[in-house]
Amino acid sequence: MGVLDGKRVAVLATDGVEEVELTDPRAAVERAGATVEVVSIDTDPIQAMNSDIEPAGKHEVHRRAAEASADDYDALIMPGGTVNADRLRMDADVRSFVTAVLESGKPVAAICHAPWTLVEADLVAGRTLTSYPSLRTDIANAGGKVVDEEVAVDGNLITSRDPGDLAAFSATLVEAIAKS
C-alpha cells in the first residue's frame, strides 16, 4: 500500500511546460499510490520542453480546466516552463480552478514559473513563497513575501525555485498530500 493510495492529483500544464517539472513530481505521487490527471486549456496533447527551447515529450491531457473541479482532486501540481506559465495565467478557467483548489485547503505545489498563475489569480498576497528569480518582483508587487529557499511552505501552498529543487519539492508534496 502506498501512502497516497486512493488520492487523485491534477497536474496543470499546457504547451511549453518544463518536461522534468511535469514528470518528476508526477512520478513521485504515482509511486506513492496516487492517480494523476493532466488538466490543461484544451484536450490536445501538450508539448513539453527542456529549458524552454528544446522540444521534449508530448503528454496526454485528461481534462480541460473549464471542466475540472477542486472537488475532483486531493492536490494540484503546477509545473513551470516560461511559455506554459504565461499561457496558463491568461486563461480564466485555469485561474478559477487554481483558486478553487487553493481556497479548498488542499495542497497546491508550484515550481519555477508556475507562481505566475498564482499572481494573476491574486492568490499570493500575505503568503510566503519562492519561484524562479525572474518572477520574484511580480510576487512581491502582488503582496507576497519572497524567499530564496529550496522549498517554501505556507499553509497548503508549496513552492520551489527550479528543477534543481525537484527532489525536495516532490518529497514535500507527497508528505503534504499524505497528511491532507
Q: Which residues are catalytic?
A: 112-113
What is the C-alpha to C-alpha distance for residues 93 and 95, in angstroms, rounded to an integer?
A: 5
C-alpha grid cell, residue 127:
503568503
Element at 158 (helix H, strand E): strand 157-160
Identify whether the C-beta of residue 99 lies closer than 8 Å to the C-beta of residue 92: no
State how far the Cα of 142 lies from the Cα of 70, in Å rounded to an integer. Answer: 24
d(CA 177, CA 180): 5
- Counting other chains too, the contacts that 122-126 makes at CB distance below 8 Å and 24 or more residues apart are 123/98, 123/99
- DSSP secondary structure code for residue 164 in this structure: G
- β-pairing, 157-160 vs 151-154, is antiparallel
